[in-house]
A and B are shown apart, each in its own frame.
Chain A
Amino acid sequence: MPVNRVKFYQTGSYAVGNRLLDPRSRAVQSDPARTNAITTGHRACQGCGEALGARYVLDAAMRATGGKLVTVNATGCLEVFSTPFPESSWRVAWLHSLFGNAPAVATGVAAALRAQGREDIRVIGQGGDGGTVDIGFGCLSGMFERDDDVLFVCYDNQAYMNTGVQRSGATPPAARTATTDAVGPAPGNAFGQGKDAPRIAMAHGIPYVATATVADPRDLEYKVERAMSFRGARYLHVLVPCPLGWGSAARDTVRLARLATQCGLFPVYEAERGDVVAATPIRAAVPVTEYLRPQRRFAHLFRPELRTDVIGRIQAIADANIARYGLLEAGHD
């Protein structure tokens, strides 16, 4: 792993900071002078993973760019909870246009800056999974294909949360949403559909693609910093649990992101020019049930009867990820 893991301290570098580390090796999030790109008073739900993920990403980007950053936001929870007129939680240059066009607007901002000779100012486009893998996908693919100088960040909470938890192309199989009822022999979202956006991004051969979660801020910060060291189109896919849409306890947001990685359902890796260059090994392997059980959107897999058949299919997906990315190979710890 490229993240500098300090092994012998009580918490290694898994915690946000450590008084025993020199300040340069601490996470951006441990810095009292961090940007707080999205600040206090926003209207996200209790325990919102998206609010947390956006701050992690943008604070790291602000540090990496020395504050020279413009952010373009798609419609979605992140936009709505941060800017209810007349308030704004943003402490970065931030603009919003539509649900489906954030990658295109970001491309335009980058072009405008280039025209002004201000290529020192960097551009981030960001949106939810709906805005990214569904309605914005054409714009995003074009942005990749043209290799526009934008980092696009998808905050993946696995459904259209802002409008009431409808299924998206990133909703996992068997999950209950407002549009995928937990009824019938194959309850919840169908198997075999949806999109693996990071792999599709990789297929474009762009300079940098990475996945991350809110459970490992140091890894996430490293990937933002790494992304900012490239020019051209880059893509970062961040898993952000949503207590409302997942039916989970607010306090479990970070824990669920962690369990998603440790069961293998959400592989954490990075790729350059289409090839995976590193994957974060699993440190504390768990079966998928550990991850599924605390979420009400999967409750029908456990009650009234244990759906071992469905759980088995989900476990097979996790196992395939573990094999594909070598997640159980000797790690750093």
Chain B
Amino acid sequence: MTEHPFAITLDVGSSLANRTGAWRTERPVYVNRMPPCNDACPAGENVQAWLYEAEDGGYERAWRQLVRDNPFPAIMGRVCYHPCQDACNRGQLDEAVGINAVERFVGDEAIRRGWRFDPPPAPTGKRVLVVGAGPCGLSAAYHLAVRGHAVTVRDAGEAAGGMMRYGIPAYRLPRDVLDAEIGRIVDLGVTVEQNRRVDDPVAALAEFDAVFLAVGAQLSKRAYVPAGESARILDALGVLHDVAEGERPLLGRRVVVYGGGNTALDVARSAKRLGATEPLVVYRRTRAQMPAHPEETDEAIEEGVRMRWLSTIAYAGSGRVVVERMRLDDNGFPQPTGEFEELPADAVVLALGQEVDRSIVDSAPDIEVDHGTVRVDAHLMTGRPGVFAGGDMVPSRRTVTDAVGHGKRAAREIDAWLGGGTPTPAARPPLATFERLNTWYYSDAPATLRPRLDLARRASTFDEVVRGLDESTALFEARRCLSCGNCFGCDNCFGVCPDNAVRKLDEGHRAGSYAIDLDYCKGCGICVAECPAGAIEMVPEEES
């Protein structure tokens, strides 16, 4: 010890000589767990990560993070059924984060401000043919192009988009939004050829190094409905296609739609906009069993679409239909009751589901079809090496988002196949469950609801029904995210350590900018207990 002035006996802060880290039997370790939203996203978006960027108004950063996985945020923000929100941990606290609404806001900002994708890397020299310009094919094209492959998309339709253009009505997905997000992929240098039906994908292997099939499920399922000669019976996809082309199919005033899926509701809601006074949806089972998304059923009913559950169409005649009441048997299956009723109907539209047009693989005997869909292996490859398939034409949940996810996965698999390997799947960290959060630290904040277009307006126009959030509500909504399982820079660990053993790597206040000073950490675990997001874990010393 040095000479001290009067009454000074100990040196300032000299306890640093005492390495209390030696007391420790467990150490805290920062972790990144899988947030339930990311886990549930069929397109594999890192939702928590892009919400984090949006929280400080960094919408472009948020957008760039988002489009690493999904090139269609503005489309997603309108048509995705957001399974992320069903999984969101905040739902157990008050209400799920309005992820989908924020996604739409970010996507719309990108369009408004003209943000472009980063230019692709140097060409690999590999050429890939994508068959079908629906969400699946376009997603694959995008993810292949950003890996430097030369991509040609050939599509049988008039314009690109698949069911996003010819199925989903404009009041749910405005065409300028669709065009803007597809245009960005074309700008990457992807060649998109319309009116180019591909019949022999195997033959294309002569010209391309790999082929990806994404032709969707575009045939309307047929069902036998006994009908009189003058009955007017249409199929849903045909009606929606005509509407998409700007035509006004002759439906009359009293339209009966047969089916219980989203397509049925889209037809009924379109019919209402085309002048039908009281479109009626007839479905065999109960409301709870309808495959349609409940939100869409609600919106349809609000708009004046009527529902007739537990009913089948027994006969369609001129200006009328006969429906039969059903009842559920003990197994939950609908059974006829023999009770009939006649209803007025100018037209009957069948919306009983879609099937894959298998003629695309007719010429390739090694590509198998199973239960109406094309069989692929775990790498999305068909029985024919070099030919991959995804989207509605393979077994899937048949949503735009699943199609985008397939496209992304297929691109990864094709990329690996072109390089002669199999992709190493990113390790999936354990789930960030609700129990791991310290919810004390989150303030109450109920979800913001997206404004609904005035009912009167939407019954007569194809204007968009669900409007976007404005900046301040989008920001509020993004900030409702709990950042499950991932550090978000709240400084709590830095504050609550009784031993000052948490260091800030820089000015802090940033996700992941902390480190534990193991020379002094005694291993009390308070930082772990008090981390709001559950992003720190105790690990026994001998294991680390």
Question: Which residues of A pack against B, CB within 8 Å?
Answer: 5, 7-12, 14-20, 26-27, 29-30, 32, 36, 39-44, 46-49, 51-52, 55, 82-83, 85-91, 95, 217, 243, 249-255, 258, 283-284, 333
- Indicate if B230 sits at the interface (CB-CB under 8 A): no
A selection of 11 A-B contacts at a CB cut-off of 8 Å is A10-B532, A11-B442, A14-B442, A17-B495, A29-B494, A43-B18, A48-B524, A87-B15, A87-B17, A251-B524, A253-B498
Q: Are B520 and A41 in contact (CB under 8 A)?
A: yes
Complex Cα distance, B81 from A70, in Å, reads 62
Residues of A within 8 Å of B409, CB to CB, are none
B441 at the interface (CB under 8 A from A): yes
A-chain residues with CB within 8 Å of residue B445 when the two chains form the complex: 7-8
- CB nearest neighbor in B for A21: B509
Among A5, A10, A29, A83, the residue within 8 A (CB) of B483 is: A10
> Contact at A9–B440, with CB atoms within 8 Å?
no
User: Complex Cα distance A16/B496, Å?
Assistant: 8
Report the bound CA distance from A150 to B64 in whole Å. Answer: 56
Binds A, one of B125-133, B192-200, B362-370, B500-508: B500-508
Check if B273 is an interface residue, CB within 8 A of chain A: no
Knowing A8-B445, A10-B483, the reply to whether A42 touches B499 (Cβ < 8 A) is: yes
The answer to whether B523 and A46 have CB atoms under 8 Å apart is yes
Assess the B508–A10 pair: CB atoms within 8 A: no
> A8's contact among B11, B13, B476, B491, by CB below 8 Å, is which?
B476
B491 touches A29 (CB 8 A): yes
**In the complex, what's the smallest C-beta–C-beta distance from B513 to chain A, in angstroms?**
9
Say yes or no for B14: interface residue by CB 8 A criterion.
Answer: yes
Contacts A10-B488, A16-B492 given; does A251 touch B525 at CB 8 Å: yes
A14 touches B443 (CB 8 A): yes
Are the C-beta atoms of B526 and A15 separated by less than 8 Å?
A: no
| Residue among A52, A91, A333 with the highest chain B CB neighbour number at 10 A | A52
- Scan B8-20; emit 1 where CB is below 8 A from any A CB, else 0: 0111111111111
B17 & A254 in contact (Cβ 8 Å cutoff): no
Chain B positions 474-498 with a Cβ under 8 Å from a chain A Cβ: 476, 479-483, 488-492, 494-498
A12 to B440, CA, bound (A): 10
- Chain A residues lying within 8 Å of B523, measured Cβ to Cβ, are 46, 250
**With A252-B529, A255-B529 in contact, is A40–B491 under 8 Å at CB?**
no
* 6 shortest interchain CB distances as A-B pairs: A17-B491, A16-B495, A12-B443, A41-B15, A251-B525, A47-B524
Given A46-B522, A251-B529, A11 and B443 contact (CB-CB distance below 8 Å): yes
Instruction: Tell me the bound Cα distance from A251 to B492 in angstroms.
Output: 14
CB-CB under 8 A from B507, the residues of chain A are 32
Chain A positions within 8 Å of B16 at CB level: 39-41
Whether, in the assembled complex, B276 has its beta carbon less than 8 Å from a beta carbon of chain A, the answer is no
Cα distance, A85 to B483, chains bound together (Å):
45
Q: Does B206 contact A (CB under 8 A)?
A: no
Establish whether residues A42 and B510, one from each chain, have CB atoms under 8 Å apart when the complex forms. Answer: no
User: Which B residues touch A10, using CB under 8 A?
Assistant: 55, 442, 479-483, 488, 490, 532
Report whether B18 and A41 are in contact in the complex, using a CB–CB cutoff of 8 Å: yes
| Pairwise interchain contact A15-B525, C-beta atoms closer than 8 A | no
Min Cβ gap B103→A in Å is 18
Nearest Cβ in chain A — how far from B519, in angstroms? 8
For the A-B complex with A17-B509, A91-B13 known, give 14 more contacts whose Cβ atoms are closer than 8 Å: A14-B441, A14-B443, A15-B495, A16-B495, A19-B508, A29-B494, A30-B495, A42-B15, A46-B23, A46-B522, A55-B498, A87-B15, A251-B525, A333-B444
Please report the C-alpha to C-alpha distance between residue A186 and residue B445 in the assembled complex, in whole angstroms.
46
Determine which of A15, A20, A251 lies in contact with B532 in the assembled complex, contact meaning CB atoms within 8 Å: A15
Task: List A contacts of B441 (CB < 8 A).
Answer: 11-12, 14-15
* B392 proximal to A (CB < 8 A): no
Partner of A19, one of B497, B509, B517, B530: B509
Task: Write the chain A residue with the least CB distance to B25.
Answer: A46
Interface status of B288 (Cβ within 8 A of chain A): no
Asked whether, in the complex, the Cβ of A86 is within 8 Å of the Cβ of B10, the reply is yes
Contacts of A15 in B (CB 8 A): 441, 490-492, 495, 532
CB-nearest residue of chain B to A29: B495
Please state if B14 and A253 are interface contacts (CB–CB under 8 Å): no
CB < 8 Å: which of A5, A19, A47, A284 contacts B56?
A: A19
Q: Point out the residues of chain A lying under 8 angstroms from B15, CB to CB.
A: 39-43, 82, 87-89
CB pair B499–A88 under 8 Å, yes or no, is no
Contacts of A82 in B (CB 8 A): 15
A46 cross-chain contacts in B, Cβ below 8 A? 23, 522-524
Most chain A CB within a 10 A radius of its CB, from B10, B16, B523: B10
Chain B residues with Cβ under 8 A from A9's Cβ?
443, 479
Please tell me if the beta carbons of B498 and A49 are within 8 angstroms of each other in the complex. Answer: yes
In the assembly, what is the distance between CA of A252 and CA of B498, in Å?
Answer: 12
Smallest CB separation, A3 vs chain B (Å): 13
Q: Given the interface contacts A15-B441, A17-B508, A20-B479, does A88 sit within 8 Å of B491 by beta carbon? A: no
CB < 8 Å neighbour of B443 from A7, A40, A255? A7
Residue of A whose beta carbon sits closest to that of B472: A8
Give the chain B neighbours of A250 by CB distance below 8 A: 522-526
Flag whether B1 is at the interface (Cβ < 8 A).
yes
**A61 vs B230: C-alpha distance when bound (angstroms):** 90
CA distance in complex: A16, B499 (Å)? 16
Instruction: Compute how far the CA of A90 lies from the CA of B495 in the bound complex, rounded to whole angstroms.
Output: 18
A17 CB contact (under 8 Å) in B444, B479, B483, B494:
B494
Closest beta carbon of chain A to B50's beta carbon, Å: 15
A42 to B55, CA, bound (A): 38
For residue B528, CB closer than 8 A to chain A, the reply is yes
Q: Determine how close the nearest CB of chain A comes to the CB of B58; give it in whole angstroms.
A: 11
- List residues of chain A with CB within 8 A of the CB of B529: 251-252, 254-255
A39 to B20, CA, bound (A): 12
Verify A44–B498 contact, CB threshold 8 A. Answer: yes
Which chain B residues lie closer than 8 Å to A47 at the CB level? Answer: 498, 522, 524-526
Given contacts A8-B443, A14-B440, contact A254 B482 (CB under 8 A): no
CB distance from A215 to the nearest CB of B (A): 9
Contacts of B479 in A (CB 8 A): 8-10, 20
Q: Which of A26, A95, A253, A333 has the most CB of B within 10 A?
A: A253
Residue of B nearest to A27 (CB): B495
Q: Which residues of B contact A254 (CB under 8 A)?
A: 496, 526, 529-530
Q: A12–B480 Cα gap in the complex (Å)?
A: 10
Determine how close the nearest CB of chain B comes to the CB of A30; give it in whole angstroms.
Answer: 4
Contact status of A40 and B520, CB under 8 A, knowing A8-B445, A89-B15, A333-B444: yes
Give B333-357 interface residues, CB cut-off 8 Å to A.
none
Residue of A nearest to B509 (CB): A19
Question: How far apart are the CA atoms of A254 and B527 in the complex, in Å?
Answer: 10
Are A284 and B440 in contact, with the CB atoms below 8 A?
A: yes
CA distance A309 to B19 in the complex (A): 47
- Residues in A with CB closer than 8 Å to B12 are 88, 90-91
Q: Do residues A90 and B525 form an inter-chain contact, with CB atoms below 8 A?
A: no
The 8 Å CB contact of A40, one of B442, B489, B494, B501, is: B501
Determine how close the nearest CB of chain A comes to the CB of B25; give it in whole angstroms. 9
Residues of chain A with a CB closer than 8 A to B510's CB: 19
Across the interface, name the chain B residue whose C-beta is closest to A49. Answer: B498
In contact, A88 and B10 (Cβ under 8 angstroms):
yes
Residues of B within 8 A of A252 (CB): 529
Q: Is the Cβ of B56 less than 8 Å from the Cβ of A87?
A: no
Residues of B417-465 at the interface with A, using a CB-CB cut-off of 8 Å, are 440-445
- Which of A7, A40, A42, A85 has the most chain B CB atoms inside 10 A of its CB? A40
Distance in angstroms from B299 CB to nearest chain A CB is 29
Residues of chain B contacted by A83 (CB below 8 angstroms): 10
Q: Residue B10 contacts which of A17, A48, A85 (CB distance < 8 angstroms)?
A: A85
* Other-chain residue from B55, B482, B488, B508 in contact with A30 (beta carbon distance below 8 A): B508
A283 to B440, CA, bound (A): 9
Beta-carbon contacts under 8 Å, B237-270 to A:
none
Select from chain B the residue with minimum beta-carbon distance to A50: B498
Is the CB–CB distance between A88 and B14 below 8 Å?
A: yes
Closest chain A residue to B28, Cβ basis: A251
